[in-house]
Amino acid sequence: MFPNLPAWALEIAGFSVGDALQVSEIDGINLPLNRARLAGFLSEFADDRGVADLLTLDVIGATAGLPVSSTGLAESLPSLVLRPFRLWEYAWLYRILNLSAGGVRVLDLGGPATHLTLLAALAGCRVTTIDINSDFVAAARECAQALKIGSLDPRVGDMRDLSAFSSDSFDVVVSCSVLEHLTGGDQEIALREMARVVKPGGLVGLTFDFGPSAAGANVYLPPPHHPPPNAAEAVHRFTQGGLVPLGNDFTEDPVPGCLFHDDSIRYTVASLFLAKPPAPPIERPKPKPQGRSVLASLQVENAPCRFYRTASRLEISLVQAEANRVAAEERLIELGLKEKALGDFHSQLQQSIERANSLEAAADERLTGLHAKDAALADLRSQLQQSIERANSLETAAVQHLAALQAAEAAASGVRGELRRTQSDLKELKHRFETEGVREYMYRRFRRQHGDDSSTVLK
**pLDDT over 50 (residue 456):** no
Last residue of a domain, one of 301, 329, 363: 301
Spatial contact of 93 and 111, defined as CB atoms under 8 Å apart? no
Average pLDDT, the chain: 89
167 pLDDT above the threshold of 70: yes
Nearest one of 295, 269, 244 to 52, comparing CA atoms: 295
Residues linked to residue 130 through DSSP beta bridges, in sequence order: 109, 155
Give percent of the chain with pLDDT exceeding 90: 59
For residues 121 and 177, state if they share a domain: yes
Do the beta carbons of residue 106 and residue 131 sit within 8 Å?
Answer: no
Instruction: Specify the range with the lowest mean pLDDT, choosing from 6-15, 170-179, 238-247, 306-315.
Output: 306-315
* Domain with 405 in it: 318-450
| CATH code assigned at 217 | 3.40.50.150
Which pLDDT score, from 0 to 100, does residue 335 have? 82
Residues 249 and 331 in one domain: no
The pLDDT assigned to 454 comes to 47
The reply to whether 288 and 340 lie within a common domain is no
Is 197 found in the same domain as 272? yes
60 lies in some domain: yes
Peptide bond into 222 cis (omega under 30): no
Which among 253, 275, 301 is the end of a domain? 301
Q: CA-to-CA distance for 214 and 204, rounded, in angstroms?
A: 26
Domain end (from 267, 301, 335): 301
- 126 by DSSP, 3-state: which? strand
**DSSP character at residue 348:** H
CA distance 226 to 187: 9
pLDDT given at position 433? 66
Task: Count the domains in the chain.
Answer: 2
Residue 319's φ and ψ, nearest 5 degrees, are: -60, -45
* Inside any domain, residue 312: no
Lowest mean pLDDT among 38-52, 93-107, 312-326: 312-326
Write down the pLDDT at residue 436: 64
- Specify whether the CB–CB gap between 146 and 306 falls below 8 A: yes
Q: Do the domain assignments include residue 117?
A: yes
Residues 342 and 434 in one domain: yes
Closest CA to 187 of 236, 237, 224: 237
229 vs 3, residue with greater confidence: 229
pLDDT tens digits, 136-146: 999 999 999 99
* Distance, CA of 453 to CA of 446 (rounded, Å): 11
Any domain includes 182: yes
Task: Provide the terminal-to-terminal Cα distance of the chain, rounded to the nearest Å.
Answer: 166
C-alpha to C-alpha distance for 117 and 90, rounded to whole angstroms = 9
Task: Looking at the structure, tell me whether residues 189 and 76 fall in a common domain.
Answer: yes
Cα dist from 213 to 227, 229, 234, 265, whole Å: 6, 8, 14, 8
- What's the pLDDT at 359? 85
DSSP run (H or E) holding 200: strand 198-210
Q: Are residues 43 and 73 in the same domain?
A: yes
Q: Are 275 and 244 in contact (CB under 8 A)?
A: yes
Residue 125 lies in a domain: yes
> Residue 145: which H helix or E strand, with range?
helix 134-146
201: left (phi over 0), alpha (psi -120 to 50) or beta: left
Does residue 279 carry a pLDDT above 60? Answer: yes
- 295 and 334 assigned to the same domain: no
Residue 380: Cβ-neighbour burial (10 angstroms; 0-12, 13-18, 19+): exposed
pLDDT at residue 110, rounded to an integer: 97
pLDDT score of 400 more than 50: yes
Q: Are 223 and 182 in contact (CB under 8 A)?
A: no
297 and 330 housed in the same domain: no
Average pLDDT of the segment spanning 419-442: 74
Q: Let me know if residue 356 belongs to a domain.
A: yes
Residue 285 in this model has a pLDDT that exceeds 60: yes
Amino acid at 207: T
Please tell me whether residues 137 and 252 are part of one structural domain: yes
pLDDT for 314: 67
- Both 118 and 151 in one domain: the answer is yes
CA 259-14-24 angle, 5° bins? 60
Question: Is residue 2 a part of any domain in this protein?
Answer: no
How many residues belong to the chain? Answer: 459
3-class DSSP state of 171: strand
Q: Is the same domain home to 407 and 358?
A: yes
- Cα–Cα distance measured from residue 302 to residue 145, given in angstroms and rounded to the nearest whole number: 11
Other beta carbons within 10 angstroms of residue 207's beta carbon come to: 26
Q: How far is CA 290 from the centre of its chain?
A: 50
Distances 324 to 15, 241, 334, 356 between C-alpha atoms, Å? 33, 57, 15, 44
Reported as a pLDDT band with limits 50, 70 and 90, residue 104 is: very high
Asked if the structure places residue 309 within a domain, the reply is: no
What dihedral angle (degrees, nearest 10) is formed by the CA atoms of 251, 274, 188, 87? 80
DSSP calls for 71-108: SSS--SS--GGGSHHHHHHHHHHHHHTTGGG---EEEE
Using one digit for the tens of pLDDT, what is the confidence trace for 209-254?
999 999 999 888 999 999 999 999 999 999 999 999 999 999 999 9
